[in-house]
Amino acid sequence: MTTARVHDQTVCLLGEGPLWHPERGELLWFDILGRMLHMEGRHHRLTELSSAAGWIDRDTILLAQKGALLRFELTTGQGERVAGLDEGNPAVRSNDGRADPWGGFWIGTMGLKAEPEAGAIWRYYRGEVRRLVPKVTIPNAICFDPGGTHAVYADTEAQLVWRQPLSDRDGFPLGEREQFLDFRGTDLNPDGAVFDAEGNLWIAMWGSGKVAGYGRDGTPLEEFAVPATQSTCPAFGGEGMSTLFVTSAAAGVPQADLAAAPESGRTFAVETGRKGVPEPKVIL
């Protein structure tokens, strides 16, 4: 497996939501438990548990946090509420999320203690937040085929990845989902994921210290290792969109394992030889 280099020395308790901002040409990522938004050379402290974002313009993102979606200014660190996110349920927080090709934003919620089926997957689209998938324990791997034909998402706890056909008109689910990848009976736990330009799916495997690739038909491809067992989410970016950035988590790693993997919690970069696609912008 190709080994990663450290992209940023910042240690995250629970690194998540890496986003290569195509207009800024830089990486943004979150420390959910640390309540931080990290940028290259800058850091914003957040008031709530926050986990994922989509870009609106050069200086503004849609930020997902516990109970709400915010319009967040990267220059000032100020946020303005755009919509609620299961705000009547204080026992859940946001988790994995990503913008879709229609200008919408998909975001998962989960129980604060990962209670079974306490979460869901939601979509913000043209001012409305709609629940798409109920009864999810740990929603992850939300991403979209570059051809716009389908979304995928996972429930990490169930060790399953689903493929959902989408309407080419507005990007809402069209018909029934189908099981795409089944990791039950293995030690593989699908966390965040991203597609490359060829339609291959790259999944960070929680507990395995790697990002694993799968073809359109689910055939395993190559794997990229990172020096942290709790790899959480990948994102393509960098020059030529060929660098795979990978966040990780330090929280919960036994002391003995931290001694063996002192880079745990840092954000990594792997030169893959493969090419990603720029993230679409969110339309408010």
The pLDDT tens digits along the chain (284 residues) read 567 899 999 999 999 999 999 999 999 999 999 999 999 889 999 999 999 999 999 999 999 999 999 999 999 999 999 999 999 999 999 999 999 999 999 999 999 999 999 999 999 999 999 999 999 999 999 999 999 999 999 999 999 999 999 999 999 999 999 999 999 999 999 999 999 999 999 999 999 999 999 999 999 999 999 999 999 999 999 999 999 999 999 998 887 777 778 899 999 999 999 999 999 999 99
Q: Is 191 a catalytic residue?
A: yes
Q: How far is CA 266 from CA 123, 167, 190, 223, 249, in A?
A: 29, 38, 19, 19, 7
Question: Which among 49, 28, 46 has a CA at the least distance from the CA of 38?
Answer: 28
Q: Is the pTM of this model over 0.95?
A: yes
- Spatial distance between the Cα atoms of 158 and 265, rounded to a whole number of angstroms: 24
Catalytic residue among 191, 196, 217, 257: 191
Q: What domains appear along the chain, each with residue ranges and CATH number?
A: 2-271 (2.120.10.30)
